[in-house]
Amino acid sequence: LVHGDCWDGNTANSDKAGEVLVFDVCSFYGHNEYDTGNWRAPRHKLSNEAYIRSYKAVMPPSEPVEEWDACNILYSLTFNIGNAVYIPGSDQRSVVFSDMKTLCKLYCPNDLLDTMK
């Protein structure tokens, strides 16, 4: 079960107990990498590698573990495409294109080469 929209705008710390609070949940059953997909973007405080390490310590990578980064890139596309479409002046279109090329190089390199000719 993942949060579904976990980013710094939907998290806080309790003043009294120092507990972590999460809200605006849109949970579903999915890979843990989905929650950290939005964290790839430097526009979020959670993009710091320390947050990702801490998340992975509590929520281990989904199988296949060796494809964690590729899955995380895939799931980041949802958030970055939304940013590119809805935020005027967003620089995310180039990030989305680059991430899509990265995934194509990993999973369908010959198709990518044919397309880029």
What are the structural domain ranges in the chain? Answer: 8-115
pLDDT of residue 85 exceeding 90: yes
First to last CA, the chain: 42
Cβ proximity of 38 and 76 under 8 Å: yes
In sequence order, which residues have a C-beta less than 8 Å from that of residue 60 and are 6 or more positions away? 32
* 56-75 pLDDT, tens digit each: 999 999 999 999 999 999 99
Cβ proximity of 23 and 14 under 8 Å: no
pTM for the structure as a whole: 0.83
Positive or negative: CA dihedral 94, 100, 106, 109? negative
Looking at the DSSP assignment, which residues form a beta bridge with residue 13?
20
